[in-house]
Chain A
Amino acid sequence: DAKTTQPTSMDCAEGRAANLPCNHSTISGNEYVYWYRQIHSQGPQYIIHGLKNNETNEMASLIITEDRKSSTLILPHATLRDTAVYYCIVRLRNGSGNTGKLIFGQGTTLQVKP
């Protein structure tokens, strides 16, 4: 199972870009990288996912290194409402007996400060 490593916590000033790193050095060829976040006392919320290319949506950008061993989630203009735990997850492949599993690691607690 490809595992992820994230810093335990990070701070970011309001209005600045928040760059959240994730290492997934054992990722396999067809495994996607997913990012979710969980605001206190709420269910996790999907942010973005990618395979090889960089991705952008209305919430964030995902930069994946060429060797796919790491990625960075970028929140371009962080607000106080972006304070949350951010989870980087590698989705397990079908055919390995682990179909359907989305396994959360410890995540990064992002604190956006005024």
Chain B
Amino acid sequence: DTEVTQTPKHLVMGMTNKKSLKCEQHMGHRAMYWYKQKAKKPPELMFVYSYEKLSINESVPSRFSPECPNSSLLNLHLHALQPEDSALYLCASSQDSSGRALSGANVLTFGAGSRLTVL
């Protein structure tokens, strides 16, 4: 299995709703990532988990709450979002997150994304 699976593919939610995005990989990767991508813009890093611990939070508002229940799963809990949070949310994984970059170890495999619309 060489894929990162994201669910749901599409999500529409109101500003008062609570929802979650899910990401799963079975490649034995120990680093997982959340990126946010607005239309016609490059992906922006949100969070990095390394060995199930949050290692990077790019000053993301607290209405986005990541969770890594185990090494294969990554969730993004959403609460009280704003319309400007509408975007494509991308999950990725890699063998590890070390910047030492053992050749190949830092290659990220991305999922297809969850397209979020906040009304």
- Chain A residues with a Cβ under 8 A of chain B: 30-32, 34, 36, 38, 42-46, 49, 51, 85, 87, 91-96, 98-107
Contact = CB atoms under 8 A, between A and B. Distances in A.
Interface residues of B, number: 27
B48 A49 contact: no
Contacts, number: 77
Interface string B20-44: 0000000000010100000000111
B42 A87 contact: yes
A91 B56 contact: no
A100 B92 contact: no
A96 B4 CA distance: 28
Interface of B: 4, 31, 33, 42-45, 48, 50, 55-56, 90, 92, 97-101, 103, 106-113
